């Protein structure tokens, strides 16, 4: 069984804080080992930018331009300026670096990628590192980075294996304690059947797995936790967890006491009165959508607050007053960031009627609208259409027909599909629309399929791009079945799938392709904010609301990271997110195909 689906993906605002906090261990390590090129990493304790530190004395070999750029990148990274660090790394001629500095160079590249939330790129860079030739401090940073990357990618066991190697390098008891906590927390997300898997070798990892299995059941009524741990101690007598650390894990001190013991490790709390203002309607036609978004914001905020102090969310009813007045009131109340509004007309009105002194992440998209401090983020059909045609093009399709509802939104989707398909060199050979209130597609299907006949009367491969609700798609699909001999491939917009599995009813959908949010696929977005993990949040919502929970999750996670999205990407619940030149957050989606009524993901469109 894959471990990927059970790992925790941390929110973007937590990612930097956690990443730099973990690397603190490297800064706290003992004196460097002699006879090694010393290029230590001493990153800061939070993602807040600080004044660059003085160059460490360990850069005594910085006697050429490459080494100076490497020093500059290291210093910039310590100060939390990942973009400046990357610019310094870009100036380095890696081929001229000796092995020790080349490994350091790759490690810094990986750390920059991690700070941007790009775990896959970080993993590629880490593969070029030879940890054995790094300093002790950099070896610690290396294994921390490897553990962190695999955790973000959902690979629990490789992440834990890296932590086992990290544990052998750590000297201070507090560092060892934190590493043990991280190991047990990582293994805690694995199901019991995985932790109970056969292990012919009694080694350190099998000991951790056995211990995690016990801890996972300790709150089950009638489970003898103390007796099980005693048996575990006898089976693994020399295990690293056979110390005071396990007792500390099972009985952590109260938060107030812990803060008193370790004040230097506490994240700086937000300034008193600072808030994140959320402008959403509590009444009207958008109220149900706002409710789902609010659920996503709430669970993301709760998770982030469990790791470090956060600014509270403060909600404002966007329907109670003119939206500009609502915004100004929020800023007057101490808002440092604003999420919303949701309604397009309000976004446009806000942009046109007031200066935005505090950044706004609007939860919809108004075309051709640009303003300083205004960012637009929504489940835009522009992204849906572009990703779908990219999938069809990658499949080798050349000719396409379009089928969309005869509605204002349907016309908009048709325009996006046609523009995107023609932009990749595809030919549109037929366009049809349908009345959503009618359920007989026979005549439309016949007309569309006639487009598959070439001038010489031969059948030719044809892609059908369709936008339809799950209910209408279930009626359309059977009428397309007889056309399989015509080499027709069906590509549907994501509204074909509600986000809830329904194998019985969706068995009619055959092998329809579609691209959708990573969040709706169990293997594509995992962890504490995955769809499965927060199912209590969305189970009571309607089908039209489910995916908006993911929008709320991502909105909270990126609100403090918007400038960074212009130079990188974030692996979000709604897609791989980045910022285009118009300050619109764009999304890359995961593609899938219905098989036996269940969507099976094939991965992102590359």
Q: Per-residue pLDDT for 147 more than 60?
A: yes
Distant-in-sequence, close-in-space partners of 35: CB < 8 Å, separation ≥ 6 = none
CB atoms within 10 A of CB 535: 10
- Here the tokens at position 540 are 């009571």
CA distance 92 to 296: 42
Encode pLDDT of 490-515 as tens digits.
Answer: 999 999 999 999 899 898 888 899 99
Return the higher-pLDDT residue of 228 and 473. 473
Share of the chain above pLDDT 70, in %: 81
DSSP 8-state code for residue 591: E
The model's pLDDT over 97-125, given as tens digits with 9 standing for 90+, comes to: 888 889 888 999 988 888 776 778 889 99
Name the most confidently modeled range: 62-66, 280-284, 564-568. 280-284
Contact 407, 417 (CB under 8 A): no
**Structure token pair of residue 390:** 């990219």
Least confident residue range of 29-33, 421-425, 459-463 = 29-33
The DSSP code for 584 is B
Report pLDDT for 38: 31
* Adjacent-strand bridge partners of 402: 431, 465
Tell me: the pLDDT tens digits for 185-237?
777 767 777 777 655 556 788 888 888 888 777 767 777 877 888 888 888 87
- Residue 563: its pLDDT value, please? 83
Q: Residue 277's closest CA among 207, 197, 217, 362? A: 362
pLDDT of residue 45: 34
* Mean pLDDT for the stretch of residues 333-343: 96
Q: What's the order of all strands across the beta sheet hosting 590-595?
A: 427-434, 399-405, 462-466, 488-492, 513-516, 590-595, 598-604
> Which backbone phi and psi does 14 adopt, to 5 degrees?
-85, -30
Mean pLDDT of the chain: 80
The residue with tokens 């509270």 is 312
Asked if residue 47 has pLDDT above 80, the reply is: no
pLDDT per residue as tens digits for the range 516-564: 999 999 888 887 889 988 888 898 899 999 999 999 999 999 999 888 8
CB-count burial class (<10 Å; 0-12, 13-18, 19+) for 128? middle
164: closest CA among 145, 179, 142, 149?
A: 179
Planar angle of CA 48, 51, 53, nearest 5 degrees: 115
- For residue range 339-351, list pLDDT tens digits in order: 999 999 999 999 9
Q: What is the mean pLDDT of residues 128-145?
A: 89
User: Which of 136, 129, 145 lies closest to 23 in space, CA to CA?
Assistant: 145
pLDDT tens digit string along 290-301?
999 999 999 999
Which residues does 194 contact at the CB level (< 8 Å), separation at least 6? 1, 3, 6
- State the pLDDT confidence band at 260, using cuts at 50, 70 and 90: very low
- Spell out the residues 6+ positions from residue 445 whose beta carbon is closer than 8 angstroms to its own: 476, 479, 480, 483
Given phi > 0 = left and psi -120 to 50 = alpha, else beta, which region is 311? Answer: beta
CA distances 229 to 17, 215, 223, 237, 242, Å, are 33, 9, 11, 11, 10
Quote the CA–CA distance of 218 and 206 in Å, as a whole number. 19
What per-residue confidence (pLDDT) applies to 497?
Answer: 95
| Residue 35 predicted with pLDDT over 70 | no
Q: Supply the pLDDT for residue 269.
A: 62
Over residues 133-140, the mean pLDDT reads 88
Range with lowest mean pLDDT among 67-71, 97-101, 462-466: 67-71
**Maximum mean pLDDT: which of 166-175, 200-209, 387-396, 454-463:** 387-396
| Under 8 Å between Cβ of 491 and 463 | yes
Give pLDDT, residue 259: 38
Residue with tokens 């009207």: 284
The pLDDT of 371-398, averaged and rounded, is 96
Q: What's the pLDDT at 14?
A: 47
pLDDT for the residue 439: 72
Burial class of residue 118 (count of CB atoms within 10 Å of its CB; 0-12, 13-18, 19+): buried
State the pLDDT at residue 23: 44
pLDDT in tens, 526-539: 878 899 888 888 98
CB atoms < 10 A from the CB of 33, how many?
12
Q: What is the pLDDT of residue 157?
A: 85
At 248 the pLDDT is 56
Is pLDDT above 70 for 280?
yes
Residue 326: what pLDDT?
A: 96
* Least confidently predicted of 7-16, 169-178, 317-326, 359-368: 7-16
Phi-psi region of 117 (alpha: psi -120 to 50; beta: other; left: phi over 0): left
DSSP 396: T
pLDDT band at 281 (very low <50, low <70, confident <90, very high): very high
- Per-residue exposure over 161-179, b if at least 16 CB sit within 10 Å of its own CB, e if not: bbbbebbebbeeeebbbbb
For residue 318, name the pLDDT band (cuts at 50, 70, 90): very high
Lowest mean pLDDT among 2-11, 36-45, 540-549: 36-45
Q: Which helix (H) or strand (E) holds 585?
A: strand 585-588
For residue 296, what pLDDT is reported? 95
- Residue 91 tokens read as 């100036």
Q: What value, to the nearest 5°, has the Cα angle with vertex 211 and ends 206 and 216?
A: 125
The three-state (H, E, C) secondary structure of 200-244, written as one string: CCCCHHHHHHHHHHHHHCCCCCCCCHHHHHHHHHHHCCCCCCCCH
% of the chain residues with pLDDT over 90: 39
pLDDT of amino acid 573: 95
Residue 188 token pair = 């805690």
């Amino acid at each position: 069984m894959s471990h990927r689906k059970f790992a925790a993906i941390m929110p973007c605002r937590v990612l930097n804080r956690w990443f730099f906090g973990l690397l603190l261990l490297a800064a706290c390590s003992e004196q460097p080992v002699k006879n090694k090129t010393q290029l230590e990493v001493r990153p800061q304790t939070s993602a807040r930018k600080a004044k660059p530190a003085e160059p460490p004395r360990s850069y005594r070999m910085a006697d050429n331009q490459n080494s100076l750029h490497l020093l500059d990148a290291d210093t910039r990274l310590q100060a939390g300026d990942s973009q400046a660090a990357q610019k310094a790394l870009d100036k380095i001629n890696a081929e001229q670096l000796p092995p020790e500095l080349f490994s350091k160079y790759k490690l810094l590249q990986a750390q920059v990628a991690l700070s941007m939330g790009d775990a896959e790129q970080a993993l590629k860079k880490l593969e070029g590192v030879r940890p054995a030739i790094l300093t002790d401090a950099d070896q610690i940073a290396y294994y921390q980075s490897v553990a962190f990357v695999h955790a973000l990618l959902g690979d629990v066991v490789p992440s834990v294996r890296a932590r086992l190697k990290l544990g052998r390098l750590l000297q201070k008891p507090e560092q060892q304690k934190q590493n043990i906590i991280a190991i047990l927390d990582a293994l805690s997300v694995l199901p019991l059947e995985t932790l109970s898997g056969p292990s012919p070798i009694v080694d350190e990892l099998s000991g951790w797995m056995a211990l995690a299995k016990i801890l996972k059941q300790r709150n089950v009524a009638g489970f003898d936790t103390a007796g099980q741990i005693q048996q575990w101690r006898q089976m693994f007598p020399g295990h690293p967890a056979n110390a005071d650390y396990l007792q500390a894990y099972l009985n952590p001190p109260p938060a107030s006491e812990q803060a008193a013991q370790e004040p230097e490790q506490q994240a700086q709390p937000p300034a008193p009165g600072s808030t994140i203002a959320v402008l959403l309607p509590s009444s009207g036609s958008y109220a149900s959508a706002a409710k789902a978004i609010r659920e996503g914001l709430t669970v993301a905020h709760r998770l982030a607050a469990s790791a470090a102090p956060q600014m509270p969310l403060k909600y404002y009813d966007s329907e109670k007053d003119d939206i500009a007045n609502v915004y100004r009131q929020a800023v007057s109340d101490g808002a440092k960031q604003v999420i919303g509004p949701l309604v397009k007309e309000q976004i446009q009105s806000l942009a046109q009627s007031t200066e935005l002194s505090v950044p706004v992440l609007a939860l919809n998209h108004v075309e051709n609208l640009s303003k300083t401090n205004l960012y637009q983020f929504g489940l835009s059909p522009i992204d849906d259409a572009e990703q779908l045609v990219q999938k069809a093009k990658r499949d080798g399709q050349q000719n396409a027909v379009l089928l969309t509802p005869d509605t204002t939104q349907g016309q908009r989707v048709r325009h996006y599909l046609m523009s995107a398909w023609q932009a990749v060199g595809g030919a549109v050979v037929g366009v049809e629309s349908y009345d959503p209130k009618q359920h007989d597609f026979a005549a439309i299907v016949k007309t569309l399929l006639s487009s598959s006949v070439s001038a010489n009367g031969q059948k030719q491969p044809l892609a059908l791009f369709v936008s339809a609700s799950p209910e209408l798609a279930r009626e359309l699909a059977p009428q397309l079945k007889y056309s399989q001999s015509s080499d027709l491939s069906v590509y549907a917009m994501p509204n074909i799938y509600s986000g809830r599995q329904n194998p019985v009813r969706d068995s009619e959908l055959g092998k329809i392709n579609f691209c959708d949010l990573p969040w709706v696929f169990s293997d594509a977005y995992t962890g504490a904010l995955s769809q499965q993990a927060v199912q209590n949040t969305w189970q009571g919502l309607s089908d039209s609301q489910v995916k908006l929970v993911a929008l709320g999750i991502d909105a909270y996670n990126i609100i403090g990271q918007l400038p960074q999205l212009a130079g990188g990407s974030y692996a979000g619940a709604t897609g791989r997110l980045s910022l285009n030149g118009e300050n619109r957050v764009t999304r890359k989606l995961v593609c899938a195909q219905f098989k036996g009524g269940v969507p099976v993901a094939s991965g992102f469109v590359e």
